[in-house]
Amino acid sequence: MSGSGWRHVVAALRGRDFLAVADLSPADLHGLLDLAAELKAGRDPGVPLARRSVAMFFLRPSNRTRVSFEAAIHRLGGHPIALFDREIELGRRESVSDVGRILDRYVDGLVARIPSARDLLGLAASMNGPVINAMTDQGHPCQILADCLTVREALGRLEGARLTFVGDGNNVCNSWIEAARVAELDLRVVTPPGYEPNRRDLDRMTGAAPGGQVLVTNDLDEGLTGTEVIYTDVWTSMGQEDQHEDRRQDFGPYQINEDVLGRAPAGVRVMHCLPAHRGEEITDAVMDGPQAIVFDQAENRYWVQLALLTSIFGPETT
């Protein structure tokens, strides 16, 4: 490949773990998005993963993340090996560090969707090969990379974008908060009382340069003021199924429906990381309506995984 704006990122991320959006500099983030956009526009990525294997842990269900990573690894000439809880039984059949040390003898890297952020760090510490966070209960950085590309496509810019996250202050929200700092977003986080992002994490994620701002509120209309993008996520995340009824009650007033769109600025875009629980956090009318860009957002998972894998595993520069 040859190219320009993204060349730096191919060198900067080579061989590195990708565990959090906060791991990226603004130049890394913009470089990844530039490369993803060029790949989406038709640039041939070559086969930087030829004759290499990448293990993938999916200890929680997945459609978009697994399929986009698996397709991207294959497109880059590599061999993805998907493993599920019944095979790995992480920390039960074998310790986290033993699993990582063994895998390191067989494969060139790991894409891991596991509940525990601590276990993810344990795997990363026990492996020499790069580890990519495919979602923990604390963060979903690959999702937010694709979402940043989607915002940039929809608004024509990322920096200063006014985005309102409506939902639970957990993994997807946490990664948006990190992105607010790296991409200098104007982020509003709207949650029901008791579901705000963890204060300590919030301070840590927003405390450092370069910038951006994060408003946390329980008032949906405050969050909607002047916004350009409404972003929502499920009320009941994977692993929280036993809280479903309580959450339906608590989150009910925060459903993204036509009334809420009517209270937001005209032309506001609607995003959702998916899977959508239609009729809970989002209605069919909004999800299938003209302001929703959720399927473009899902598609962008593939282009961003290609860019990320190329940067981490690819040649220095060509």
- Name the site residues for ligand NVA (rule: CB under 6 A): 140, 170-172, 233-234, 237-238, 273
Catalytic: 113? yes
Residue number with CB closer to ligand NVA (150 or 171): 171
What does 269 interact with, of ligand NVA, ligand CP, none (CB < 5 to 8 A by kind)?
none
Q: Does 128 bind ligand CP (CB under 6 A)?
A: no
- Which residues inside 248-307 make contact with ligand CP, applying CB under 6 A? 273-275
Catalytically annotated residue among 60, 66, 140, 152: 140
**Is 143 a catalytic site residue?**
yes
Our CB check for ligand NVA shows the closer of 147 and 233 to be 233
Question: Does residue 169 contact residue 240 with C-beta atoms inside 8 Å?
Answer: no
If contact means CB under 5 to 8 A according to the sort of partner, which of ligand NVA, ligand CP, none does residue 237 touch? ligand NVA
| Cβ 275 to ligand NVA shortest distance, Å | 7
| Look-up of token digits 């963890």 | 198
273 assigned to active site = yes
- Residue from 28, 54, 65, 287 binding ligand CP (CB under 6 A): 65
Q: Under the criterion CB under 6 A, does residue 171 sit at the interface with ligand CP?
A: no
Catalytic residue among 64, 119, 273, 305: 273
Catalytic (active site) residue 148: no
Per the rule left: phi > 0, alpha: psi between -120 and 50, beta: everything else, 194 is left
Tell me how far, at minimum, the Cβ of 20 lies from ligand NVA, in Å: 15
Give the whole-angstrom CA distance, residue 43 versus residue 4: 12
Taking CB within 5 to 8 Å according to partner kind, which of ligand NVA, ligand CP, none is near residue 172?
Answer: ligand NVA
Smallest gap from Cβ 176 to ligand NVA, in A, equals 11
Binding test (CB under 6 A) with ligand CP, winner from 133, 136, 138, 143: 143
The least CB distance from residue 221 to ligand NVA, in Å, is: 24
What secondary structure, in 3-state letters, does the chain show? CCCCCCHHHHHHCCCCCECCHHHCCHHHHHHHHHHHHHHHCCCCCCCCCCCCEEEEEECCCCCHHHHHHHHHHHHCCCEEEEEEHHHHCECCCECHHHHHHHHHHHCCEEEEECCCHHHHHHHHHHCCCCEEECCCCCCCHHHHHHHHHHHHHHHCCCCCCEEEEECCCCHHHHHHHHHHHHHCCEEEEECCCCCCCCHHHHHHHHCCCCCCEEEEECCHHHHHCCCCEEEECCCCCCCCHHHHHHHHHHHHHHCECHHHHHHCCCCCEEEECCCCCECCCECHHHHCCCCECHHHHHHHHHHHHHHHHHHHHCCCCC
Q: Residue 62 or 310: which CB sits closer to ligand NVA? A: 62
State yes or no: is 79 an active-site residue.
Answer: no
> Least distance (Å) from ligand CP to the CB of residue 259?
26
- Which residues of the shown chain bind ligand CP in the complex (CB under 6 A)? 62-65, 135, 143, 273-275
The residues that are catalytic are 113, 140, 143, 233, 273, 301
